[in-house]
Amino acid sequence: MTIAYNLLEKQLHPLDNQLLASLPPEEWARWQPLLEWSDMPLGRVLYESSNPQSHVYFPTTAIVSLLYVMENGSSAEIAVVGNEGVVGISLFMGGETTPSRAVVQSGGQGYRLKGQAIKDEFGRSGPVMHLMLRYTQALITQMAQTAVCNRHHSLDQQLCRWLLLSIDRLRGNELVMTQELIANMLGVRREGVTQAALKLQSAGLIRYSRGHITVLDREGLEKRTCECYSVVKKEYERLLPGRVAT
């Protein structure tokens, strides 16, 4: 059951997060006083690899990248989380820590819940547990498809996939993102991202200027990307059918 909420409060309301908005009324009433507003500026690290996690985060207007960091400091994105999900699944999955790093890739805001609170809710073995398990399966699908995409598809296709997944998690069609940061996310050289972005811009699909990427033709991006984007999108829709549409 999806909970209706006052549109006037939408910008600062936790129910802008679709997982929270999918909670049944009884669970939402129990969660509401426990949620804490959280500022998520660009570049904020929500947790480091192998470090204990104290909270789970529910983005509303921010997008968070889950990155795998190598010993030499290089990194690659394994998933993105926005208003459809939660950051910090290892807390309720029993792992406490994870080898990935969570960093805000698009600044905004969200809400957080203490680790013990999410463990208690998960331990009730009720609707919350089933909702979080379905979300986790969708997130694992995104991670697996990202690995396949990075191995088998062109950088142009990877960039289209990444742009579409990011735009799906925002209200508008503009991203504030430098090419260097995109390169770090995709685990490629900056020059490669520059060439790929210029191709998309020449085709009239995006406009890039001073760290701002505006998607001009979403349908064109969908036609140009690989199947990985639709696989991930369909899996989220299949497993989380009660969520608010983006």
Residue of 213 and 8 predicted with greater confidence: 213
| Other C-beta atoms lying within 10 Å of the C-beta of residue 39 | 11
Dig out the tokens for 158 from the structure.
């990877």
User: Residue 28: what pLDDT?
Assistant: 92
Burial of 78 (0-12, 13-18, 19+ CB in 10 A): buried
Phi/psi at 61 (nearest 5 deg)?
A: -120, -5
SS3 (DSSP) at 209: strand
CA-to-CA distance for 235 and 186, rounded, in angstroms? Answer: 22
CATH class entry, domain 7-150+232-239 = mainly beta
What ranges do the domains of the chain cover?
A: 7-150+232-239, 154-225
pTM equals: 0.87
Asked if residues 138 and 206 have their Cβ atoms less than 8 Å apart, the reply is no
The CATH code for residues 154-225 is 1.10.10.10
Q: What is the pLDDT of residues 29-54, one digit of tens each?
A: 999 999 999 999 988 999 988 888 89
Task: Return mean pLDDT, the chain.
Answer: 86
The pLDDT of 79-97, averaged and rounded, is 89
Asked if residues 188 and 181 have their Cβ atoms less than 8 Å apart, the reply is no
Q: What is the pLDDT of residues 177-203, one digit of tens each?
A: 777 778 777 777 888 888 888 899 999
